[in-house]
Structure 1
Amino acid sequence: MNRPLQSRPTADYATITAPQTVRLQRLLSGPVERIWNYLTDDALRRTWLAAGQMQPAAGTSFTLTWRNDELTDPPGNRPEGFDSENSLQSTITEYDPPHRLAFTWGSGEVAFDLEPQGDKVQLTVTHRGISDRTNMLMVGAGWHQHLDTLVARAGGGTPEPFWDGWTRLRDEYDALIPA
C-alpha cells in the first residue's frame, strides 16, 4: 500500500503503510541517546508532545498529558472542540533503549524507532489502529506538527505556532487522504 501523502516534494507528510496505520519520519541531529531522551524524559517530551513520567520498562503504565497551548509561543488559534489539556492512559509495550519505544494509544499503538545515520538520527513514528478517516486526519496532522516542533526544539530553532500549523496540516491531509 505505502501511499505517500505528499503534495510538495519537501514536505514530510505521513505515509499510509497499511489500513489504519500511518508512518512519519524525521532526520534529527544526534547522537541517538539525545533523541531517545526527547522520547522518554518528561521534561524534554513535554516541549514537543506531552508530559508524563515513564518507568523505563515494558508493561508499565503512564499517563500522557497534552497541553498544546504551551508548546509554542504564541500557541496559535486553538480549533473548536479542543481543550487546553487532554490526557491518555498508556502502557509501554516495548522499551529497547536507545532504539525502540512503543506504547498503547487507546485501542492502537505508537512506536518510535531510532536509527543512527552518521551524526544524524532517523526517527520513524508508526501509529497503528486509527479508527477512521476523521481520526486519520487528526492523527496525521497531529504527529506531523508535533514532529515539526521536535525538529525545531532538538535543533535549537523556533517552531511555528502549534495550532496554526496543525490547522493548516489538517486541511492539507484532508485534501491528500482519500475519502
Structure 2
Amino acid sequence: MLAVIQTVENGYEVRFERHLKHSVEKVWSWLTDNAKLAKWFSELSVDDLREGGVIKFDMQDGTFEEMEILELKLHEVLEFTWGEDRVRFELYPEPSGCRLVLKEKLTKVTAHTPRDIAGWDVCLDVIEALLDGRVIESRKDIWQVKYEQYVQAFENITKDYPR
C-alpha cells in the first residue's frame, strides 16, 4: 500500500504506516543502532542520538550532510531535518507488536520527490523483512514499481509537479 500524500500548510505530508510483529524497543533499535541502520539505509548513521544531535547522510563522494535531530523520545519519536524537509518516525505499542509511522514533511515537490518517497517505502519493507528474518532479493525491482506509482500520485496531488 502506498503512502498517503496530503497537502498541508506550507507544503505536503507523506505518511507511511506499518503494523509490525515486533516490540517498540526492537523496532527502535533498527532506527537508531548504526549496525542495524546500515542494513536498510547504508548512507545514514546516527552521530549523536539526542535532541539537537546529528544524523549523517553519506553523500558517497567523501562528504556528509548533517541532519539535526529535532525531537527524540526514547522508543517513541525520532524526528530530524532532511534538507529543507523533515522526517519523523513514530512508534506505538500494539498487542501483537507495534505500529511504525513515518512522516515526511515536504516544503516542495520536485522531480526527485517520487524517487525519495519510493525509497522510504522500500526501506520500510526492508526493515519489516529484516525484523521477520526474511530477505528482499531485489530492492531495485520493488523500488521501480513504487517509483512509477509515486510519480502518478504526485501528478494527481499537485498541479505544480515538474514533468
Q: Normalising by structure 1, what TM-score? A: 0.76
Instruction: Select the structure that is richer in strand.
Output: 2
Tell me, which stretches of 5 or more residues in structure 2 are unaligned?
Answer: none
Which of 55, 58, 65 matches 2:48?
Answer: 55
2:111 aligned partner: 134
Tell me, which stretches of 5 or more residues in structure 1 are unaligned?
Answer: 1-11, 67-82
Whether the aligned pair in 1 keeps the contact of 2:20 and 2:98 (CA below 8 Å) is: yes
Task: Quote how far apart the aligned CAs of 1:139 are.
Answer: 2.4
Whole-angstrom CA distance in 1 between matches of 2:100 and 2:55:
22
Whole-angstrom CA distance in 2 between matches of 1:151 and 1:33:
14
When residues 165 and 47 of structure 1 are mapped into structure 2, their CA distance, relative to the original with a 3 A threshold, is: same
Whole-angstrom CA distance in 1 between matches of 2:62 and 2:143:
16
Task: Quote how far apart the aligned CAs of 1:30 are.
Answer: 1.8
Root mean square deviation of aligned Cα: 2.1
Task: Quote how far apart the aligned CAs of 1:160 are.
Answer: 3.6
Whole-angstrom CA distance in 2 between matches of 1:85 and 1:168:
31
2:25 aligned partner: 33
Instruction: Select the structure that is richer in helix.
Output: 2
1:135 partner amino acid:
H
Q: Normalising by structure 2, what TM-score? A: 0.83
Percent identical residues: 25
Task: Quote how far apart the aligned CAs of 1:16 are.
Answer: 1.1
2:52 partner amino acid:
G
